[in-house]
Structure 1
Amino acid sequence: MANEVKSLNDECGVFGIWGTPDATRLTYDGLHALQHRGQEGAGIVSNDHNQLHRYRGLGLLAQVFEDPQTLEILNGNSAIGHIRYATAGSHSINNIQPFLFENISNHFAISHNGNLTNADTLKRELSAKGVQFQSDSDSELFGDLIEVSEMDNFTDKIKDAANRMRGGFAYILMATDAMYAVSDPNGLRPLVMGKRADGSVVICSETCALDQVRAEFIRDIQPGELIKVDGDGIKIGHYTTDTELTVCSMEYIYFARPDSVIHGVSVHEARKRMGARVAREHPVKADVVLGVPNSSLSAAIGYANESGIPYDMGMIKNQYVARTFIEPTQKKRERGVSMKLSVVKSVIEGKDIVLVDDSIVRGTTSRYIVQLLRDAGAKSIHVRIASPDLKFPCFYGIDIQKPSELIGANYSVDGIRDQIGADSLGYLSVDGLIDSIGLKCDNQYHGLCTAYFDGKYPTPLYDYEAMYKREAKRLHLYEGMD
């Protein structure tokens, strides 16, 4: 996966299906389409309407369910699944979802994508009530809050718990009598709904998973919504009406699969427009345009189309190399990158190169790639980034929460150019990003979270506020801080 090279990772992918005999197999297939969202672990919970059955493990989906019998033991006509990359919590089997909750009469399971910004506060409150945590992940807190809620019925317990959480979250819950979906008040993490020809209902992180299981797209799940699916059909409700769509712009830039559609916007087409816009904003004379595989290829095509410079496949990614982002030392990570990427020398040698990438995080991968192209005989290398300069951390489900980890927070654009060894460097502007995505929203200026680039967070940071202010002040990220 592309995120294994860059070391920028989204938390998870979620999938749920209600009302088909082949629920477990379809959940496996849907999770396979979402594997790019996490490679650390996977799990499935099935529902036979009397009992919930779970199987989970560490590793890629195909590794976890390598034995066909593991799927056969998951009986029922409904199921939810999860693939994980950790942003909160340790790398252990206890943190692999879905989580099961059996302390109240209505047993249920949850799958979560996102990050809670008030997790520490909630943990203290729950601990004071005697809650024994089954993991050290913030994802389980929703289930704990449901269990301690004093509301009378299960739906009201869900609403009560959801209103106590802050941050970015997309949850799917499976109870024995219904499946539920909950989106945070800003819709930061995507959720979509579809229906198959047999009438079964699917809820998942991206439309590419709907396509995988031959489900027709119905709608995006909107901020603050609580969806209930049971034998009577689909019920759309809200746990809050204090909402404002600010979907994570990194979904369009990097995380989502290019064949997905988020709130009516094709990810592939948006990336092509980003590439075209950065070509207009930072033109350069060159012989060939290259994209860093795989998440930057759409943007590279857009750059080439707009600039008139030919696009070519000058870089190849080996799909069969183990993950690199969890390696314990920088030397091992760089070795992993060297095993993943290689160049087509005939495309590179003696050429002035435009190298299009979707982002620069720490700069180490970019530095390596630039050197790789120079070693292959590139005459000059002009790096163009199809997103703005990544200066600010994310607290809503991306695994970088300190400005010190971001090269953009520590160096000017010229300084980054020198650090990565490029002849020139140009980033897409924030306005260019917003225009390129082109998300249409009622009564809103653009419906995107661009905090990673401009520091304008759509919510308070709660438990992260003090740490962020200390680091941001030290790095002079913005003026006028207390």
Structure 2
Amino acid sequence: MELEELGIREECGVFGCIASGTWPTQLDVPHVITLGLVGLQHRGQESAGIVTSDGDAVPTYRMHKGMGLVNHVFSEENLKKLNMSNLGIGHTRYSTSGNSALENCQPFVVETLHGRIAVAHNGELVNAARLKRKLMRHGIGLSTSSDSELITQLLAFTPPLEEDHTPDWIARIRNLMNETPTSYSLLVMHNDVIYAVRDPYGNRPLCIGRLISVKL
């Protein structure tokens, strides 16, 4: 019997991993994330995804996503393709908005003015319609029906007061938190850093190693 049939469904799980010590690491980052997602499987059985990075100055991102349980999505073969990595984030999905389709699987990866970011999000935006209109007024198109893509695009959007050559990701994340008054948890990976974000009502610390915790 699937966990969802038992009534256990808690709206997505997110998991991040950063290797300690000298890079390149010998730690099998994709397998660590997979084990973490298995531990979070009760939070979503619809789909799963992992994005890894080598954390270089111009990082290489590797991604695999699919529909179904974690052990169905990830085989030894596609986990090998995610290897040669020093950090990564993963996601298990239980949809509260957006269709149950491959296009809505997370994490999302987008190109920004300052390089790629990967985002894994748990939660539901109560003001998704307003945020969608705001982005579209600025000429930003959306490719999925997931409100989590709105978060990704809001983070990629350059604030008016930010200089082109000096991105302030923490300021962007705090701005996002002001725009999204709801309960959520969020992982944002950029270059060699993972930003861990929780809504203002959370009370558990999220700062581990090179992982940076952000709160209002």
- Please tell me the TM-score bracket, short chain as reference: 0.7 to 0.9
Aligned counterpart in structure 1 of residue 30 of structure 2, from 6, 24, 34 = 24
Question: What is residue 4 of structure 2 aligned with on the other side?
Answer: 3
Note the C-alpha offset of 1:30: 0.7
Query: How does the TM-score come out when normalised to structure 2?
Result: 0.85
Question: 2: CA distance between counterparts of 1:77 and 1:179?
Answer: 11
Question: What is residue 82 of structure 2 aligned with on the other side?
Answer: 74
Q: Which amino acid aligns with 2:16?
A: G
Question: 2: CA distance between counterparts of 1:39 and 1:134?
Answer: 23
User: 3-state DSSP class of the match of 1:163?
Assistant: helix
Q: Give CA-to-partner distance per residue, 1:314-364, whole Å, 9 cap, x none.
A: xxxxxxxxxxxxxxxxxxxxxxxxxxxxxxxxxxxxxxxxxxxxxxxxxxx
User: 3-state DSSP class of the match of 1:134?
Assistant: coil
Q: Give CA-to-partner distance per residue, 1:446-478, whole Å, 9 cap, x none.
A: xxxxxxxxxxxxxxxxxxxxxxxxxxxxxxxxx
Q: Give CA-to-partner distance per residue, 1:123-182, whole Å, 9 cap, x none.
A: 011111111113111112221111113134222222222221121110011112201110
| 1:40 and 1:60 in contact (8 A); partners too | yes
2:48 corresponds to 1:42: yes
Equivalent positions of 1:1-400 (< 5 A) are 1-6=2-7, 9-19=9-19, 21-49=27-55, 50-66=59-75, 68-75=76-83, 76-150=85-159, 151=162, 152-187=167-202, 220-221=204-205, 230=210, 235-238=212-215, 240=216
Question: 1: CA distance between counterparts of 2:213 and 2:6?
Answer: 39
Question: Superposition RMSD on alpha carbons, in Å?
Answer: 2.0
Q: Give CA-to-partner distance per residue, 1:221-252, whole Å, 9 cap, x none.
A: 37xxxx5853xxx55553x2xxxxxxxxxxxx
Q: Give CA-to-partner distance per residue, 1:243-274, whole Å, 9 cap, x none.
A: xxxxxxxxxxxxxxxxxxxxxxxxxxxxxxxx
Quick one: structure 1 residues 169 and 178, their matched pair in 2 at CA, closer, same or farther if it must change by over 3 Å?
Answer: same
Question: 2: CA distance between counterparts of 1:38 and 1:23?
Answer: 21
Question: 1: CA distance between counterparts of 2:209 and 2:187?
Answer: 11
| 1:178 and 1:228 in contact (8 A); partners too | no
Quick one: structure 1 residues 237 and 56, their matched pair in 2 at CA, closer, same or farther if it must change by over 3 Å?
Answer: closer
User: 3-state DSSP class of the match of 2:134?
Assistant: helix
Q: Which has the higher contact order (CA 8 A, sep 6+)?
A: 2
Note the C-alpha offset of 1:186: 1.7
Q: Which amino acid aligns with 1:3?
A: E
Question: 2: CA distance between counterparts of 1:177 and 1:162?
Answer: 22
| 2:120 and 2:186 in contact (8 A); partners too | yes
User: 3-state DSSP class of the match of 2:5?
Assistant: helix
Note the C-alpha offset of 1:22: 1.3
Q: Aligned residues, how many?
A: 199
Note the C-alpha offset of 1:9: 2.8
| 2:10 and 2:42 in contact (8 A); partners too | no
Q: Which amino acid aligns with 2:205?
A: I
| 1:181 and 1:228 in contact (8 A); partners too | no
From the two aligned structures, give the one with the greater helix fraction. Answer: 1
User: 3-state DSSP class of the match of 2:82?
Assistant: coil
Question: Which stretches in structure 2 are left out of the alignment for 5+ residues?
Answer: 20-24
Quick one: structure 1 residues 2 and 69, their matched pair in 2 at CA, closer, same or farther if it must change by over 3 Å?
Answer: closer
Quick one: structure 1 residues 163 and 106, their matched pair in 2 at CA, closer, same or farther if it must change by over 3 Å?
Answer: farther
Q: Give CA-to-partner distance per residue, 1:58-102, whole Å, 9 cap, x none.
A: 011111113x11001113011110111111100110100000011
User: 3-state DSSP class of the match of 2:201?
Assistant: coil
Q: Give CA-to-partner distance per residue, 1:272-312, whole Å, 9 cap, x none.
A: xxxxxxxxxxxxxxxxxxxxxxxxxxxxxxxxxxxxxxxxx
Q: Which amino acid aligns with 1:11?
A: E
18-27 or 77-86: bigger deviation: 18-27
Question: 2: CA distance between counterparts of 1:2 and 1:69?
Answer: 27
| 2:205 and 2:213 in contact (8 A); partners too | no
Quick one: structure 1 residues 113 and 236, their matched pair in 2 at CA, closer, same or farther if it must change by over 3 Å?
Answer: closer
Q: Which amino acid aligns with 1:44?
A: I
Note the C-alpha offset of 1:35: 0.8
Question: 2: CA distance between counterparts of 1:43 and 1:55?
Answer: 6
Query: How does the TM-score come out when normalised to structure 1?
Result: 0.39
| 2:16 and 2:187 in contact (8 A); partners too | yes
